[in-house]
Amino acid sequence: MSQLTDWMTRLRSARITSYQREGSDPDETDRPLPWFMMMLIGAMFMWGGFYIYDTPSGDASAWGDQRSLESLMPVLLPAGGSAKLDGAPIYSAKCVACHQGNGAGVPGVFPPLADSEWVIGSPTKLIQLLLHGVVGEIKVKGVTYKGAMPAFKSLSDPEVAAVLTHIRSQWGNQAPPIDASDVTAQREASAARTTPFSGGAELESLP
């Protein structure tokens, strides 16, 4: 028993001495941001606010390549010519569903454009046909079709010229290109028309 007490006393005194020897645990003291940091952050906020306030917005940008839509138009739609505007994508977007990629149409339903007298013939009639559409009987390569070809008035003059030039030079067709100015003239000449042509007969009667 006395041996145990003795041992505990020794243990206790050993602990006391280790406490004394090691000093206290580290702890976080109260350290506010230094005043100059606060001032710096405040100054940065003020500078940021002023910078946003001071930056012009809505004006022409000083960056970029400075090209406006007007300066690009002659490149996008070359004046008086459809040569640069490609008719192929217009054909793919607007015509291919009916007249097919190979221009052969669908027998009995959609007439062919390949080797069609309407396509390689008179530009005037072809332009009129595309602008206003046709409803009723039309004879193509000896076959009579009786359907409805939609009007494409909504295309611009250079687009009409481009798609017509395209179909006149595809699938073995070899007719001269159509100029945007011809489309403009035909559009003006038929400005009063609101209905499609009734069949090929009415188109034939055009000058």
Residue from 77, 85, 131, 138 in contact with ligand HEC (CB under 6 A): 138
Q: How far is the CB of 104 from ligand HEC (least distance, A)?
A: 10
Torsion of CA 107, 140, 146, 186, to 10 degrees: 130
Residue from 115, 150, 184, 193 in contact with ligand HEC (CB under 6 A): 150
Residue from 136, 153, 171, 184 in contact with ligand HEC (CB under 6 A): 136
d(CA 176, CA 184) in angstroms, rounded, equals 18
Residue from 145, 168, 180, 186 in contact with ligand HEC (CB under 6 A): 145
Both ends of the chain: CA-CA distance in Å?
A: 136
Q: How far is the CB of 72 from ligand HEC (least distance, A)?
A: 25
d(CA 106, CA 102) in angstroms, rounded, equals 10
Which is nearest to 166 in space by CA: 73, 80, 77, 92? Answer: 92
Q: Does 177 bind ligand HEC (CB under 6 A)?
A: no
Which is nearest to 159 in space by CA: 122, 198, 130? Answer: 130
Q: Does 99 bind ligand HEC (CB under 6 A)?
A: yes
The interface with ligand HEC within residues 102-121 (CB under 6 A) comprises 110-113, 116, 118-119
